[in-house]
Amino acid sequence: MPEPLFTLDNTKPFRDQAIPGHNRWHPDIPPVATVRPGETFRVDCREWFDGHIRNDDSAGDVLTAPFHTGHQLSGPFEIAGAKPGDLLVVDIVDVGPISEGTSGPLAGEGWGYTGIFPRTNGGGLLTHRFPDAYKAIWDFNEGTATSRHIPEVRLKSKVHPGVMGTAPSAKLLSRWNRREAALTARNPLRVPPLALPPLAEGALLGGVEQDRAAEVAVTAAQTAPPRENGGNQDIKNLTRGTRIFYPVYVDGGMLSVGDLHYCQGDGEITLCGAIEMGGWIDLHVDLIPSGMRTYHLEDSPAFLPGDPEPRYEEWISFSGISVTGRGRQKYLDARLAYQQACLHAINYLTSFGYTPEQAYLLLGAAPVEGRLSGVVDFPNACATVYIPTAIFDFDVRPSAGTPHQVSQATPLPHAPASDVPREKTLRAVPVAKRALLPEASSIGTYLAGTARHLLPETLSRRLGGKSRGQR
């Protein structure tokens, strides 16, 4: 086993560990360890919500999941000799859950979860059709996940990190904050939000000294989106045997990793669409000096996919075009086309007795393939979703006979979005401003003070009165 450089005590919350991790991106978060190019090391990872989600038959925990706290990231790890402009070469040597077969209270200890987030807490690709919270629990056994909430399905493990990346430079961080603030300014109280600006509440900043924590927290970027440094890319192919080339923006590179998934479909369409879990990952690192400019990778990582197991030979596929369910034509809208492909797949699966919510969860968790099949034949983009037939315990193909009906035993846990208190609704500018910005008397004061340089004046003006989307 490689040398463990970041170990977790499973009896303690992530923020109470002997070596603190982080849940924000910022160049001033100090490293937890230094590794040399050519070394391999092991990292423990905690699941996204740090134990908030429970192995039970209630969706109340998904309804109230603390979305704005961000992913629990292990690291950062300083790579000796790494300089801005280099490429950091990261090999995923091995990766797995905390345990299989032996169940414990934490996701990853023999089980994981998939959730449909309510519209009031982030939503998902199809939140207009599925506004409420739902949850499915998956049990792990010998590399296979089964669920009491989605019967007659078996998913082979394809474990991968949802989040991995290098630290941004101060310049890059400022660029992120400015462009995302400009987007937020279009409708700052939109639900779900257009973007999430830096928020102080729940910020975990690793080894940042206490007297600087407040300063760092109001500029540190949240981990929800993918960005130039990698981040929350949620690529299901970043599994064992993958080699990734990350841009280096700061001395040491400062690599962080977390948000492990047991399995996932392309797009992770329910937002919490993967089978979320904690676990461990073995990484090998190296450097390509000045590689960013040489290979024109200044603004994005590249990767060589690893072992493609499990391999599937037969698929059932569904297509969608850029026309809304009400018949409104859109111009080459690939996201809409993928939404429609997923809806067609969901409608098809209900023929076998699955509820639409079960089918939606399954498309997020199963290793479905999502493809842009046509993006030039105006006015319609065409997207397709491919479902491996082997994941079902029955023949899922169309036939002249009566469709098989799955045996429903445990009802799918459900919690209505209307049960989320108004002050807990996820917004770019939350209703409970004081809770998130304790040193500001109002969001206007906040914008006029420490963070004025982050946010455009249009956002401040809109917040002065009623905003579009305000309730």
DSSP letter for each residue of 80-111? TT--TT-EEEEEEEEEEESBSSS--SSTTBSE
pLDDT at 68: 87
Q: What is the pLDDT of residues 49-64, one digit of tens each?
A: 999 999 999 999 999 9
Q: From CA 22, how far away is CA 256, in angstroms rounded?
A: 9
- Separation of CA 97 from chain center: 17
pLDDT at 65: 95
How is residue 396 written in tokens? 């899922």
pLDDT at 433: 54
Which of 464, 356, 418, 452 lies closest to 191, judged by CA? Answer: 418
For 285-320, give one letter per residue: b (16+ CB within 10 A) or e.
bbbbeebbeeeebeeebebeebeeebeeeeebebbb
pLDDT at 308: 73
pLDDT at 429: 77
pLDDT at 435: 47
How is residue 341 written in tokens? 């492909």
**Continuous segment of H or E residues that includes residue 114:** strand 111-116
With contact defined as beta carbons under 8 Å apart, do 281 and 45 qualify?
A: yes
Give CA angle at 15 (141, 43), nearest 5°. Answer: 50
DSSP letter for each residue of 335-384? HHHHHHHHHHHHHHHGGGT--HHHHHHHHHHS--EEEEEESSSTT--EEE
Residues 6 or more apart from 43 whose CB is under 8 A from it? 4, 5, 6, 74, 75, 77, 257, 280, 281, 282, 283
Q: pLDDT (tens digit, 0 to 9) for every residue of the chain, 471 residues total?
A: 899 999 999 999 999 999 999 999 999 999 999 999 999 999 999 999 999 999 999 999 999 999 989 999 999 999 999 999 999 999 999 999 999 878 899 999 999 999 999 999 999 999 999 999 999 999 999 999 999 999 999 999 999 999 999 999 999 999 999 999 999 888 888 999 999 999 888 999 999 999 999 999 999 999 999 999 999 999 999 999 999 999 999 999 999 999 999 999 999 999 999 999 999 999 999 999 999 999 999 999 999 999 778 899 999 999 999 999 999 999 999 999 999 999 999 999 999 999 999 999 999 999 999 999 999 999 999 999 999 999 999 999 999 999 999 999 999 999 999 999 888 899 887 665 544 443 333 333 444 343 444 444 444 444 444 333 333
**Continuous segment of H or E residues that includes residue 165:** strand 160-166
pLDDT at 419: 94
With contact defined as beta carbons under 8 Å apart, do 106 and 98 qualify?
A: yes
How is residue 33 written in tokens? 């360890």
Q: From CA 117, how far away is CA 52, in angstroms rounded?
A: 14
Which of 415, 425, 382, 351 lies closest to 120, judged by CA? Answer: 425
How is residue 395 written in tokens? 């023949």
pLDDT at 437: 40
How is residue 103 written in tokens? 């169940």
Q: From CA 329, how far away is CA 338, in angstroms rounded?
A: 15
pLDDT at 432: 57
pTM of the predicted protein model? 0.91
pLDDT at 203: 95
